[in-house]
Amino acid sequence: MTELTLEGDSTQVEASSSLVKVISAVLMALGLVCAVYLLNWAVENKLAKSEQVESSQITAEMRERQLGCLAKNIYHEAGGEPFEGKVAVAQVTLNRANSSQFPGDICKVVYQKNIVYEKVLCQFSWVCDRDTAVKPKHPAAYRESMEVAKKVLLEGFELPGLKDAMYFHGDYINPGWKREKVAKIGRHIFYK
């Protein structure tokens, strides 16, 4: 076996140590650049693949599914609200589906979940509530929700003041959002 010996003075050792530090810093910077590049690539590919479906490509089956998801969201979020309140919830749902910040599909918007600190958070609270998975308890309110869904989705009916509304909450809570308030309709407050 060969024994390794260091020859030279402490200046050479310090120079070697400095060189190792420089090489380490360069490798770390290179790793960071690669990570940023990969993240950018992933985001661009995700957005490219999640482009919205052209309206000419939507089948009757897809439209029925979208209507069902939208009607359920209206029913659970605004079933007891006035007509305008139901339209407002539908409009926020569609605004999200039309935004690049959310999935481009109505059902995916409605059922979207995020994990924050190992806790599942639903975009619409009723989705995380197991009791709402069953059939609607108030058929008349559900029928009205379906009519609103049709009016908004198929006929393009909307409330002008909510063109940019993306969020809402009940007036009985204060989430402390730093968003711009655009309207209060019924028991809901709407934000950009």
Whether 184 contacts 190, CB under 8 Å: yes
The CATH code that applies to domain 61-191 is: 1.10.10.2520
Query: Mind listing the pLDDT tens digit of every residue in the chain (192 residues)?
Result: 555 555 555 555 565 666 667 676 656 655 544 444 444 444 444 444 444 444 457 788 999 999 999 999 999 999 999 999 999 999 999 999 999 999 999 999 999 988 888 888 888 989 988 766 667 888 999 999 999 999 999 999 999 999 999 999 999 999 999 999 999 999 999 999
Cα→Cα distances 23→18, 26, 32, 146, 160, Å: 9, 5, 14, 64, 59
Domain layout of the chain by residue ranges: 13-50, 61-191
